[in-house]
Amino acid sequence: MQWFDRSRAWFGVILLLVCGGVVIFTELVKSGRNLHIREIAGLKAIEEAVGRATEMGRPCLFVPGLQDMNEIPTVAGISVLSHVARIAAEYDATIEVPTSRSLVMTAARETVQAAYFSAGRADAYSDDRIYYVTEEQFPYVAYLTGYMVREKPAACFYAGTFFAESLILAETGNSIGAIQIAGTSEASQLPFFVAACDYTLIGEELFAASAYLSHEPHQLGSLKGQDAGKLLAAVLLAAGSLIATAAALMPNSHALAMALHFLKDNLLGKGGPG
Amino acid sequence: MKRETIVWTILFIAGGLFLSYRAAFSPHGMGKVYVKAEQVNPNSQTDLRTKYIGARPGEKGAVLSIPRSVGLWLAALFTLAIFSFLYRDNVFFKIAESVMVGVSAGWAMVTAGFWDTLVPKLLAKLAPDMTRAWALPKLEKTSHADPLYLVPLVLGIMLLWRLAPRGGWIARWPLAFIVGTFAGIKLTMYLDADFVSQIRSTIVPLVVVLQSGQLDVWASIRNVGLVFGVLSCLTYFFFSVEHRGIAGKIARIGIWYLMITFGASFAFTVMGRIALLASRITFLFDDWLWLMDPNHKRPWEPFFSG
Amino acid sequence: MLDFLKNLDRRWIFLAMLLAVAIPVVMQKTFPEKPTKLVQDAFDAIENLPDESNVLFSFDYEPSTEGELAPMAKALIRHCCLKRHKMFFMTLWPGGLPLIEQNIEDIISKEYEEEHFARGKDYLNLGYNAGREVAIIVMGTNFKRMFPTDNDKIPLDDPTLPMAHDIDRLDDMDLIVDISAGYPGMKEWVQYAASPYGIKLVIASTAVQAPQAYPYYPNQLTGVLAAIKGAAEYEAALGEKYPKYRDPAFNDAIRRMAPQLWAHLLIIGLILLGNGIYFAERIKGTRR
Amino acid sequence: MKSNIPWLIAAVTGCTMIVAWFVPVAKDWRDEAGTWYEILAAIAFVLGGANLFTQHLQKISARRAGWGYSAVTLVAFVGTLVVGLLKVGVIPDDPNYPWSGYHQEEGSALWWLFYYVYNPLTAAMFALLAFYVASAAFRAFRVKNAEATLLLSTAFIVLLGRTYAGAWLTSPVPDEYSALTFPGLTAIILGVFNTAGQRAIMIGIALGVAATSLKVLLGVDRSYLGSD
């Protein structure tokens, strides 16, 4: 019986590199190192949107998506909510959070209450504006669109996991003239948000947003770790393509062919440690 | 009455009149489902029980099935009830919606939950003899009770503890088991299939030379576009660098790539939604109203033969 | 005029959409289709396998997406019947099981009645497995652990199911065909079957998922049938090789391309019109 | 304490799964854990069902607005459960074992519900989206900036390229330039731009998943366990 699957040895090295990157950067940030993360346009627009709602005397709507707290995009959405709620508390705007999961409702209440507290407006917070609607996709959306048409919120925020309902939400929000800011990691739904919303956080940006807004050091560290992973990907890709190009131009070079074979079939493939 | 209301009312009345005309005056009617009897166990001499399976009208032994015809009409009316929401929210839509919520939840519990998992995967492991005698007579005679499966049973009961008034935290154990297991599985799987494999697939020669030694211009441009695209999109997602200067320009190209990606996704999604609508309309016209019959399911000449 | 269009009741748009789809459905006019490379590769994957190879079908969809996927399932099964491949059917979606039964009944039993395909010898319904991606992972090393019996609860080692006797791992399949509407589906089959074991995989996918299939082609995916268009192209490929299948009765998807055409044109027209109004408004606004 | 033991469970099972990826002997453990998960997921259905039941029951007993619809939901839910669990209308495979038939056999009550109620309702719901796309096309999709213009132009080309109209419109284009026809452009968009974009998104999300999983295993992220 084999104790170690040698064909996966190089994959193990890559796994260690990626995971190690996350761990090292988290530790670096924890030890007080200041690491820079760039601004994200959609996040800056949040303040403007909440401000406009305040001027117009209309509420802000926040939709944390269709999935439960066990899905990471939902957790990221709740972090964005925390930021939106703090600005809303500062501006004295109303924020409405209908959820499709009871756990999300509980988490949202905690988050918004904490945000109001940190803005020094603990007295203005009320549980009534954060509530559970239903788990079912279309009934939940029917409720949301009904609310939007009746109350005409001036700003709509969507952050979390969205499926077919993305289109209905964005279309309705557009028809009532609200500023819309969306973020999701569902690639198939991004086009509708991009086409119909004012700002969209694309894929990984949603996770970045949560880390960025949370200002928790270990979260920023993990982001840096992800960047290290992307760098690794870019280097492997660039080096590999250059070797492949050289190998194509010099078909007789045995060394180049071997190098390409090693890279594609051993390092990134199933050929074992070579 | 508003003009618009009149238009819609006329549409509805016309539809109703057409339906009654079709049902009453066309020679073969519409919306009927036929079945035929078949022996449950065709190879057995002793087991002579029969069951009904779907049949085409005119087929040998085909008889009209009342429950299935009722079902077909119900299906058609539910479809129309859902579509009626486009006009405005109404009582038919709400009924259809309520039925959908109830049936889908019950159906998932019965199939995926009970008969497909709990019985064959838990009960059959814990009490094989009993399960065999009850519901799975074909379960292997050799299988023994496997006490290891008490673990998932206990974890399951802990999960249900959430329903109890206190001690809900106990449900965190099975939750932690699920989350932990899948964190481990997903970590390796995503890195393998989405990280390593995608890098590997993108390693292509930037200059493609044909067997004859000639340069394949199109293929070279494609490959350059692909590699450069992946790199520029990765630059866009890079969080440590501001989108300024060279990095900003590359990130900008990255976002153009992403927009084209989304444009393609957009078009495909639109395409899919339309396909589903077309299939629903085919269902109404073909299976229910018998206006058309492209698959030659019925022996009669259809209303529209195309 | 501008104000009328700007405040147009959206129900008129709904009506336009209904007509754009319903009229071509009734007219049943068809347009010629030519298989693209991805579809041709999928076709060739089935065509070039030696007769009586093992093909695993995973019906990972529900009735809600049958409009797109049913024509693909039919065309693919027909093709396997022509090649007399041994077909194993399974599903990771509870809603997929009745669809398997229906396809076996309609196509294998009825259309190919004269071929006398036998359950257990030529085709086998393994049924539904609730394990999602875990089912695929386990099947990779131990097929019969996930499917100890077929859907009728007959053990796979039973003498009446000879076709299943030699199946111990996913590797024993010559080709996997995944008809996929979401999770679990295409992506999981790529990640847990095609990628680690290098098994040939053909994907028949809904439109929504299709763009996510392209990155896996051609290294991890042998062929892709993307959306109703992919189905139409497959029907065309089948008709080209086997003239019998040019009969419109077998060409559900090709027929479906006509409403698709008119509805696409409507959408394009609506986007242009909507943006025309938007710009006209802005010009009017700046003049004021 | 209340979050430490669960974290240990998560960390140990998760690390075992990672190790099992590299150790052929341990593959069986992955299998076992997978089957256990299936069982847990099946048991968890009870939670969802109970939630649905109490929620609608409360609505009915409080006579809140729309309680009649809740009653419809409850009847549909309980009815489906009962006919499904009791295998109403299922003919047993073996006449000596009355419970032996397949629970969703053609002709059974559960099959009828699936085929004539569940199936058309869900399909019709998705078909509704075709209408919403049309409405959104007219009212929401604006070429506000360069990005939106690029997105919508791509959508135009693909929408045309995936129908006969695209092939027909560019049919005069000679074969050497077939890449410039609508179907040709569609193929380039999908094969080059879409593939590059999707790959980058996938690489990014894979890293995101890896980092998040790691945070779970290291106990940095315990949000799923709630607060103590």
Tell me the angle at which helices A217-249 and A254-261 cross, rounded to the nearest 10 degrees: 150
Strand C201-205 relative to strand C223-226, pairing = parallel
Q: Which two tokens stand for residue B83?
A: 């579509």
- The structural domains of chain A, with segments of one domain joined by +, span 41-215, 217-274
| SS3 of residue A19 by DSSP | helix
* Strands of the sheet with C223-226, listed across from one edge: C123-128, C86-91, C54-60, C175-180, C201-205, C223-226
> Average pLDDT, stretch C204-225?
87
Q: Does C23 touch chain D (CB under 8 A)?
A: no
Q: How far is it, in rounded angstroms, from Cα C102 to Cα C62? A: 13
Q: Which of A12, A107, A226 has the CB atom closest to D208's CB atom?
A: A226
Scanning D46-65 for CB atoms below 8 A from C yields: none
Where does A41-215 sit in CATH, by number? 3.40.50
CA of residue A260 relative to chain centroid, distance: 35
Q: Which of D38, D152, D183 has the CB atom closest to C271's CB atom?
A: D152
Residue of chain A whose alpha carbon sits nearest to that of B205: A245
Q: How far is it, in rounded angstroms, from Cα A79 to Cα A89? A: 16
pLDDT tens for residues D45-89? 787 788 778 878 988 998 888 899 999 999 999 999 999 999 998
Q: How far is it, in rounded angstroms, from Cα A82 to Cα D220? A: 19
CB B175 within 8 A of CB D9: no
Residue with more model confidence, D34 or A14: A14
Residue with more model confidence, A264 or C81: C81
Placement of tokens 């974009």 in the chain: D197
Scanning A131-190 for CB atoms below 8 A from D yields: 135, 138, 164, 167-168, 170-171, 174-175, 185, 187
Is residue B306 over pLDDT 70?
no
> Average pLDDT, stretch C220-226?
91
Nearest CA to A85 out of A41, A39, A55, A53 is that of A53
Domains of chain C: 2-25+262-287 (no CATH), 34-250 (3.40.50)
Torsion of CA A220, A223, A229, A231, to 10 degrees: -90
Q: Which two tokens stand for residue C234?
A: 């497959």
> Average pLDDT, stretch D31-44?
81
Q: What is the ipTM of this complex?
A: 0.85
CB B228 within 8 A of CB D200: no
For residue A139, CA distances in Å to A28, A131, A265, B96, B129 come to: 47, 15, 50, 11, 45
Half-sphere exposure of D59 (CA within 13 A, CB side): 18
Residue with more model confidence, A63 or A9: A63
Is residue D142 over pLDDT 90?
no
> What pLDDT does A270 receive?
66
> What pLDDT does B87 receive?
83
> What pLDDT does B20 receive?
82
Scanning B218-257 for CB atoms below 8 A from A yields: 223, 227, 230-231, 234-235, 237-243
Nearest CA to B281 out of C106, C28, C100 is that of C28
* Per-residue DSSP letter, B215: B
Scanning A33-92 for CB atoms below 8 A from D yields: 69-70, 72, 75
CB A42 within 8 A of CB A209: yes
Mean pLDDT lowest among A199-203, A265-269, B93-97, C147-151:
A265-269
CB D17 within 8 A of CB B185: yes
3-state SS of D66-114 is CHHHHHHHHHHHHHHHHHHHCCCCCCCCCCCCCCCCCCCCCCCHHHHHH
> What pLDDT does C288 receive?
56
Scanning C167-226 for CB atoms below 8 A from D yields: 211-212, 214-215
Residue with more model confidence, C219 or B234: B234
Torsion of CA B108, B113, B117, B120, to 10 degrees: -100
> C286 exposed, middle or buried (CB, 10 Å; 0-12, 13-18, 19+)?
exposed
For residue A210, CA distances in Å to A73, A100, A213, A256 come to: 9, 20, 5, 44
CB C34 within 8 A of CB C234: no
Q: How far is it, in rounded angstroms, from Cα B245 to Cα B264? A: 29
For residue C21, CA distances in Å to A69, B271, B279, C69 come to: 40, 12, 10, 18
Of all helices (H) and strands (E), which one includes residue C226? strand C223-226
Q: Neighbours of C (≥3 Cβ pairs closer than 8 A)?
A: A, B, D
Scanning B73-112 for CB atoms below 8 A from D yields: 74-76, 78-79, 82-83, 85-86, 94-112
Q: Does D176 touch chain B (CB under 8 A)?
A: no
> What pLDDT does C18 receive?
95
> What pLDDT does D6 receive?
84
Residue of chain B whose alpha carbon sits nearest to that of C8: B4
Residues of C in contact with B271 (CB under 8 A): 207, 227-229, 260, 264
**How close C36 comes to chain D (CA, Å)?**
9
> What pLDDT does D52 receive?
78
CB-based contact B267 D14, cutoff 8 Å: no
D227 — pLDDT class (breaks 50, 70, 90): very low
Helix ranges (H only) for B161-244 are 172-190, 197-202, 217-237
pLDDT tens for residues D181-199? 888 888 889 889 999 998 9
* Per-residue DSSP letter, C153: S
Is residue A273 over pLDDT 90?
no
**How close C235 comes to chain B (CA, Å)?**
14
pLDDT tens for residues B225-263? 999 999 999 999 998 888 888 999 999 999 999 999 999
Of all helices (H) and strands (E), which one includes residue C275? helix C252-287
Q: Neighbours of B (≥3 Cβ pairs closer than 8 A)?
A: A, C, D
> What pLDDT does A274 receive?
46
CB A29 within 8 A of CB A221: yes
Residues of D in contact with C63 (CB under 8 A): 114, 118-120, 122-123
Residues of D in contact with A131 (CB under 8 A): none
Residues of D in contact with A12 (CB under 8 A): 22
Scanning C226-265 for CB atoms below 8 A from A yields: none
B vs C, Cβ pairs < 8 A, gives: 153
> What pLDDT does B40 receive?
79
* Per-residue DSSP letter, D144: -
CB-based contact B271 C97, cutoff 8 Å: no
Mean pLDDT lowest among A110-124, B174-188, D211-225:
D211-225
| SS3 of residue D124 by DSSP | helix
Nearest CA to C160 out of C122, C212, C115 is that of C122
CB-based contact C138 D35, cutoff 8 Å: yes
> What pLDDT does B139 receive?
75
Strand-pairing partners, residue A156, are A61, A180
CB burial string D172-196: b at 16+ within 10 A, e below: eeeeeeeeebbbbbbbbbbbbbbbb
CB-based contact A18 B239, cutoff 8 Å: no
Is residue C69 over pLDDT 60?
yes
Nearest CA to B234 out of D210, D204, A212 is that of D204
Global pTM reads 0.86
**How close A81 comes to chain D (CA, Å)?**
15
Question: In sequence order, which residues have a C-beta less than 8 Å from that of residue A62 and are 6 or more positions away?
Answer: A81, A84, A85, A95, A96, A97, A157, A159
Average pLDDT, chain A: 85
Q: Does D34 touch chain C (CB under 8 A)?
A: yes
Nearest CA to C262 out of A220, B40, B274 is that of B274
Is residue C1 over pLDDT 80?
no
Q: Which two tokens stand for residue B263?
A: 């444009």
> What pLDDT does D228 receive?
39
